[in-house]
Chain A
Amino acid sequence: MTSVAVEKDDTSGPNWCAASDTDLLSAAAKQNQLAFAELMSRHYKAISRISWRLCAGHVDAEDVTQETFLKLWNNPNQVREAGALKGWLIRVATNLAMDRFRKKPMQDLDQAAEIADPAPHAAVVMDQSFIAKRIDAVIAQLPDRQKLALTLVHFEHMTNIAAATAMEISVDALESLLARARRSLKMMLAQDGKLMLAALSSEGE
């Protein structure tokens, strides 16, 4: 039994750091804020990064992350097993991000400084920050599900099985999404990808 004083109240200060996600979830379901804070500290970085990617770097990403954890706080019983928590958080964040950009005009997204997409040419100095912005902009143009699959597997280093479970699709479907995403990226980067690679090579020398 890994119980870590789940019954204790907020003020007694149990060692929640050592508690399992299962204990934290059950304590959070009893409105224990300290347990919930610990649970959030374990997962919010990944959810923030995923939200950021899905929102294409838009400032709404933080709101999406906050809203995701507020949903967990308000509906802790929706997550039946601690093992399913991350997948649940990812799905909620994804739905919230998609809903936001469905409601909002896309001009907001285009005006965001984070995804500025300057057309590269030979005169531009291709430093790494420039390349990073260009890569971010290209990823932002992917369809949502391809973007999510790429984010989970490539940036969050999740296994195909874990990512497929989180997205509630089969592994084959996930691999198909990944393949299409990579192909789209290659096509979108066909023109300036070589320039960027050349710049990277020259920096390395």
Chain B
Amino acid sequence: MSENQELMSDNDLDRLLALATTPELGHDFERRVMAKISRSTSNNVVAFPKKHHTKNWLIGLPLAASLALGLWLGASGSTINLVPTNTTEVATTDIGNASGFDDIVSVIEGKTS
């Protein structure tokens, strides 16, 4: 209550606020900003490096052929035919008796029993 009595009225506050400083603006503000913009514009213009599109098909063609071949072979399930028959037989024989983790050492050391 007493605090409110001590405070000034809204009208008095408005009278004082009306006296607050109105800032002086730099007269050449616009010129300085535009100069900065011109500088920043000229500095920011960087040419993009040219991309070489001409020879891309030379790399793309064998990659595409390889992918197509892989898909075809995978789909037909015939990749096993590409490996020589002797090799697959030997490999199957070598590890034919191996039945678990402990046999790995035997296989590595050449024991087949």
Tell me if A135 counts as interface (CB < 8 A to partner B). Answer: yes
Inter-subunit contact A193/B32 (CB<8 Å): no
A residues 125-181 near B (Cβ < 8 Å) are: 128, 131-133, 135-136, 139, 154-155
B residues 1-19 near A (Cβ < 8 Å) are: 6-8, 10, 12-13, 15-17, 19
Binds B, one of A18-26, A57-65, A92-100: A57-65
Report how far A200 CA is from B16 CA in the complex, Å.
Answer: 9
B65 CB to closest chain A CB (Å) equals 45
Contacts of B37 in A (CB 8 A): 33, 36, 70, 73
A residues 20-65 near B (Cβ < 8 Å) are: 31, 33, 36-37, 40-41, 44-45, 48-49, 52-53, 57, 61-62, 65
Contacts of B16 in A (CB 8 A): 131, 135, 189, 193, 196-197, 200
Q: Tell me how many residue pairs across A and B have CB atoms closer than 8 Å.
A: 90
Tell me if B20 counts as interface (CB < 8 A to partner A). Answer: yes
Contacts of A36 in B (CB 8 A): 34, 37
Most buried by B among A48, A57, A186, A196: A186
Tell me if A69 counts as interface (CB < 8 A to partner B). Answer: yes
Inter-subunit contact B20/A136 (CB<8 Å): yes
Q: Which of A53, A73, A139, A189 contacts B8 (CB 8 A)?
A: A189
Contact flag A44-B6 (CB < 8 Å), given A155-B20, A197-B15: no
Contacts of B34 in A (CB 8 A): 33, 36-37, 40
Report how far A196 CA is from B25 CA in the complex, Å.
Answer: 27
Closest to A200 in B: B15
Tell me if A182 counts as interface (CB < 8 A to partner B). Answer: yes
Contact flag A44-B29 (CB < 8 Å), given A70-B36, A73-B37, A189-B8: yes
Tell me if B82 counts as interface (CB < 8 A to partner A). Answer: no
Contacts of B7 in A (CB 8 A): 183, 186-187, 190
Inter-subunit contact B33/A66 (CB<8 Å): yes
B residues in contact (CB < 8 Å) with A: 6-8, 10, 12-13, 15-17, 19-23, 25-26, 29-30, 32-34, 36-38, 40-41
* Contacts A/B (CB < 8 Å), 21 sampled: A44-B33, A48-B25, A53-B23, A57-B21, A57-B23, A128-B19, A132-B19, A132-B21, A135-B16, A135-B20, A135-B21, A136-B21, A154-B17, A183-B7, A185-B13, A186-B7, A189-B16, A190-B6, A190-B7, A196-B16, A200-B16
A residues in contact (CB < 8 Å) with B: 31, 33, 36-37, 40-41, 44-45, 48-49, 52-53, 57, 61-62, 65-66, 69-70, 73-74, 114, 128, 131-133, 135-136, 139, 154-155, 182-183, 185-187, 189-190, 193-194, 196-197, 200
